[in-house]
């Protein structure tokens, strides 16, 4: 069964009289036990989608969707309270800047303790207190922090970004969520810590069958362990499918450009591709092109592209482009 | 942290030093003879002249004179007032607590009212309670204090006759002067009619406190609200919500501490404007404090008194400001646990 099923998610920024569609008609679905990658340049709206799922966008944003189902239940139709309950019990989110997600004025211990749900404990008040302490230490061990005593007594500003990220993961897994949304969990980290964090996440998926929505701006992070990948450009979902499909046979010019910009893939795909990097940069929200938002940067763009392309579906592989890359001739 | 406190204390010393230099130089800048201005004797006889010249070292260089001035300040000798020919130091000492009392109670009232209202306002952001509170504070913020004071006196004192409009306590009560804080003095004395006296003092205090507290309360409400709103937008609040804590728990465990930290600093900074407003309030309510005394001295060109009052008020304000700064650092774990020298 689909864990999360989102159809035509649109996120608008209300500014003055008009509103800007920062994210336009995005589809996203995640199966149970699946690791789904969401990739796109920074500013393409990945964090917005994640925040819209967990419902933490403020009044300035207007979120609409034809469907936002969590295990078959439409989240938009539930009361605020019920929705909050589901979100806080079953979905956990790790925000992009971990050190900013920890309260600067309370210790790691306090923050870790309060993220342990009380229904996982039993016994009287004293027992519960001890169990909580033990759980906190166990959680730290689970995410690879060994000097737990020192860590627990610290304030966030005394710890490095990597430590904060691990603590965020520890807090997120404390309630044993079904879906973990990790917004660029490794971006600010150096490579050894990055590998550790990815290992922790991978372990969570394999041992606990936790689904993960892994957000990244970097295709390389996703290549070896996601099951499915969605590629986002400037608030539009350009392509999504299984990891092999996306990496081996990208149909969308943008996906292809992304893959070619990674040196490793570049080597084997060199003879097929003409472009290594797209000209220009991602447009700002104030200057969005009409129709296909890749238009001004796309080497294949034609007149048709001023109309927004609809999604083509080919098995589980979908792509939104008027002139997708065709692999049929090559095969002949 | 220790380093920080030491640095603040050095700053304190430096500012106090500058203040003393300023006060000292006033005697020379004011019109008239420096010896008159320093000592407070307006007509100096030939006999006195020799004694005073020796005491104030008026023949020596400025540095020696300044050192002599400091010595006198520390021994509590600020000369005598032109006007009453009584020692300035004793006078300041006697009336200063009245001002501090008024200012501190007003500040307490503004903290007790302002901070909760600011939090409520932020909690109900853009809903009815917020709008009501915000509009009211805007009115309170823009009221000129003397006009507001007169309005209050007309309404509650003259029209309804509920509260007295001047003085600190009715003339029938004789409260011995111990600490100068009237409530404390009444409670510690053993006069007959103790509780009547207490009630009377409180009645006298009501209107000036109400007037004086208006401005700091509105400032505190707006500032607390803004600070709270900022904190509620942060990611750690979102994370705390996502943990499944109730909105109230989030506010209590993560909102308050973070939002109130900048407020502590603001309270310290507000203190100087509070003292200024207290002076005006004292004049209107005939409150026997240092503000009214200072303003009267200014009218009468009583230079020794002006110097003394200035020195006392400025020292007090500086000490309060620096203390609140240190408290802010102390309550803030980010700066408290930081490596020394890093800010
Ligand atoms: N608070 C905000 N106010 C205005 N624009 C915002 C805000 N947050 C994000 N945006 C805009 O929304 C777009 C998507 O942002 P985001 O989802 O953070 O991108 P990503 O996570 O993919 O880097 C960006 O163009 C960004 O400028
Ligand atoms: S629709 Fe047109 S502009 Fe957009 S990606 Fe396809 S070819 Fe390029
Ligand atoms: Mg982001």
- What is the Å distance from ligand 2's center to A228 Cα? 22
Cβ distance B244 to A117 less than 8 Å, yes or no, reads: yes
| CA–CA distance, B275 with B101 (Å, rounded to integer) | 11
Tell me the pairing of strands A317-319 and A312-314. antiparallel
| CA–CA distance, A45 with A26 (Å, rounded to integer) | 10
Query: Which is nearest to B263 in space by CA: B229, B223, B234, B292?
Result: B223
**ipTM of model:** 0.76
Tokens of A223: 């290549």
DSSP for A235-251 reads TEEEEEEEHHHHHHS--
Nearest-atom number in ligand 2 for the CA of A299 is 8
At residue B226, φ and ψ (nearest 5 deg) are -60, -45
Model pLDDT for residues A294-320, shown as the tens digit of each residue: 888 888 888 888 888 888 887 788 888
Collect all residues of chain A within an 8 Å Cβ-Cβ radius of residue B334.
104-105, 155, 157
- What is the Å distance from ligand 1's center to A62 Cα? 14
| CA–CA distance, A226 with A37 (Å, rounded to integer) | 6
CB crowding B257-280: b at 16 or more within 10 Å, else e: bbbbbbbbbbbbebbbebbebbbb
What is the pLDDT, as a whole number, of residue B340? 46
Query: Which is nearest to A44 in space by CA: A285, A326, A266?
Result: A285
| CA–CA distance, A274 with A1 (Å, rounded to integer) | 40
| CA–CA distance, B251 with B231 (Å, rounded to integer) | 10
Q: E strands, chain A, where?
A: 2-15, 18-31, 35-39, 61-64, 67-70, 73-74, 91-94, 179-183, 211-216, 228-233, 236-242, 312-314, 317-319
What percent of chain A is predicted at pLDDT more than 90? 16
CB atoms within 10 A of CB B107: 22
What is the pLDDT, as a whole number, of residue A249? 85
Tokens of A38: 């969401």
What is the pLDDT, as a whole number, of residue A270? 52
Tokens of A210: 């936790």
Instruction: Output the tens digit of pLDDT for each of chain B's 343 residues.
Output: 788 888 889 999 999 999 999 998 988 888 888 888 778 887 778 888 888 888 888 778 888 889 888 888 888 888 888 888 888 888 888 899 999 999 999 999 999 999 999 999 998 988 999 999 999 999 988 888 889 999 999 999 999 989 998 888 888 888 888 888 888 888 888 888 888 888 999 999 999 999 999 999 999 999 999 999 999 888 899 888 888 788 888 988 899 989 998 998 888 888 888 998 998 999 999 999 898 899 999 998 888 889 888 999 999 999 999 988 888 888 888 877 765 444 4
Tokens of A178: 């079904």
Beta-carbon-side half-sphere exposure of residue A55 (alpha carbons within 13 Å): 17
Q: Are B218 and B106 in contact (CB under 8 A)?
A: no
Model pLDDT for residues A196-207, shown as the tens digit of each residue: 888 888 988 998
Cβ distance A101 to B334 less than 8 Å, yes or no, reads: no
The CA-CA-CA angle for residues A185, A29, A115, to 5°, reads 45
What is the pLDDT, as a whole number, of residue A275? 45
DSSP for A85-107 reads HHHHHHEEEE-S-GGGGS-TTS-
CA–chain centroid gap for B240, Å, is: 39
Nearest-by-CA chain A residue for B255: A103
Cβ distance A106 to B242 less than 8 Å, yes or no, reads: no
CA–chain centroid gap for A23, Å, is: 14
Collect all residues of chain A within an 8 Å Cβ-Cβ radius of residue B253.
103, 106, 110, 114
pLDDT for residue A264 is more than 70: no
Nearest-by-CA chain A residue for B238: A56
Query: Which is nearest to A236 in space by CA: A40, A55, A89?
Result: A40
Nearest to B242 among A58, A88, A155 (CB): A88
Cβ distance B239 to A171 less than 8 Å, yes or no, reads: yes
What is the pLDDT, as a whole number, of residue A330? 59
At residue A314, φ and ψ (nearest 5 deg) are -140, 100
Neighbours of ion ligand 3 (CB under 5 A): A 47, 96
- What is the Å distance from ligand 1's center to A48 Cα? 7
Rounded alpha-carbon distances, angstroms, from residue A14 to A176, A185, A284, A289: 36, 29, 15, 18
**From atom 5 of ligand 2, which residue's Cα is the shortest distance away?**
A321
pLDDT for residue A266 is more than 80: no
* A:B CB pairs within 8 Å: 71
- What is the Å distance from ligand 1's center to A75 Cα? 23
Query: Which is nearest to B233 in space by CA: A255, A163, A59?
Result: A59
């Amino acid at each position: 069964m689909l864990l999360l099923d989102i159809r035509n998610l649109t996120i608008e920024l209300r500014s003055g009289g008009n509103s800007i569609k920062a994210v336009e008609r995005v589809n996203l679905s995640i199966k149970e036990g699946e690791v789904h990658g969401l990739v796109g340049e920074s500013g393409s709206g990945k964090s917005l989608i994640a925040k819209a799922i967990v419902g933490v966008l403020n009044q300035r944003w207007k979120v609409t969707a034809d469907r936002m189902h969590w295990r078959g239940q439409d989240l938009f139709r539930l009361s605020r309270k019920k929705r909050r309950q589901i979100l806080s019990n079953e979905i956990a989110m790790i925000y992009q800047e971990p050190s900013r997600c920890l309260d600067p004025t309370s210790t790691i211990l306090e923050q870790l303790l309060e993220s342990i749900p009380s229904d996982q404990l039993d016994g009287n008040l004293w027992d519960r207190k001890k169990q909580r302490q033990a759980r906190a230490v166990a959680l730290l061990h689970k995410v690879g922090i060994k000097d737990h005593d020192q860590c627990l007594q610290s304030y966030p500003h005394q710890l490095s970004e990597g430590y904060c990220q691990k603590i965020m993961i520890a807090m997120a897994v404390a309630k044993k969520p079904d879906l973990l949304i990790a917004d660029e969990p490794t971006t600010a980290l150096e490579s050894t810590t990055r590998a550790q964090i990815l290992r922790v996440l991978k372990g969570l998926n394999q041992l606990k069958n936790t689904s993960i929505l892994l957000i990244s701006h970097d295709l390389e992070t996703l290549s070896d362990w996601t099951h499915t990948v969605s590629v986002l450009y400037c608030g539009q979902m350009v392509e999504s499918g299984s990891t092999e499909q996306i990496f081996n046979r990208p149909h969308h010019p943008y996906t292809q450009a992304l893959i070619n910009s990674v040196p490793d893939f570049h080597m084997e795909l060199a003879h097929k591709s003409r472009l290594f990097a797209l000209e220009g940069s991602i447009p700002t929200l104030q200057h969005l092109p009409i129709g296909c938002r890749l238009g001004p940067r796309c080497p294949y763009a034609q007149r048709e592209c001023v109309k927004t392309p609809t999604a083509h579906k080919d098995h589980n592989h979908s792509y939104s482009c008027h002139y997708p890359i065709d692999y049929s001739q090559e095969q002949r | 942290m220790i380093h920080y406190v030491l640095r603040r204390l050095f700053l304190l010393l430096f500012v106090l030093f500058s203040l003393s230099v300023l006060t000292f130089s006033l005697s020379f800048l004011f019109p008239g003879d420096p010896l008159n201005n320093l000592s407070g004797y307006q007509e100096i006889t030939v006999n006195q002249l020799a004694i005073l010249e020796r005491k104030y070292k008026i023949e020596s260089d400025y540095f020696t004179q300044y050192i002599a001035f400091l010595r006198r300040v520390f021994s509590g000798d600020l000369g005598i007032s032109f006007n009453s020919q009584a020692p300035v130091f004793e006078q300041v000492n006697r009336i200063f607590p009245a001002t501090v009392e008024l200012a501190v109670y007003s500040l307490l009232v503004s903290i007790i009212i302002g901070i909760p209202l600011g939090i409520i306002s932020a909690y109900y952001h853009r809903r009815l309670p917020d709008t009501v509170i915000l509009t009211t504070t805007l009115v309170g913020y823009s009221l000129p204090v003397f006009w507001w004071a007169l309005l209050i006196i007309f309404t509650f004192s003259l029209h309804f006759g509920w509260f007295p409009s001047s003085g600190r306590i009715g003339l029938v009560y004789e409260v011995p002067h111990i600490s100068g804080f009237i409530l404390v003095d009444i409670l510690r004395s053993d006069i007959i009619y103790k509780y009547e006296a207490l009630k009377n003092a409180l009645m006298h205090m009501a209107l000036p406190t109400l007037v004086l507290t208006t401005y700091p309360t509105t400032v505190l409400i707006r500032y607390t609200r803004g600070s709270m709103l900022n904190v509620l937008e942060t990611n750690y609040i979102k994370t705390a919500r996502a943990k499944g804590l109730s909105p109230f728990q989030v506010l209590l465990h993560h909102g308050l501490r973070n939002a109130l930290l900048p407020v502590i600093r603001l309270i310290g900074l507000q203190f100087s404007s509070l003292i200024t407003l207290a002076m005006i309030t004292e004049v209107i309510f005939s409150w026997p404090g240092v503000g009214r005394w200072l303003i009267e001295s200014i009218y009468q060109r009583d230079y020794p008194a002006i110097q003394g009052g200035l020195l006392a008020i400025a020292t007090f304000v500086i000490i309060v400001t620096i203390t609140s700064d240190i408290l802010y650092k102390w309550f803030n774990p980010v700066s408290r646990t930081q490596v020394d020298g890093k800010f």
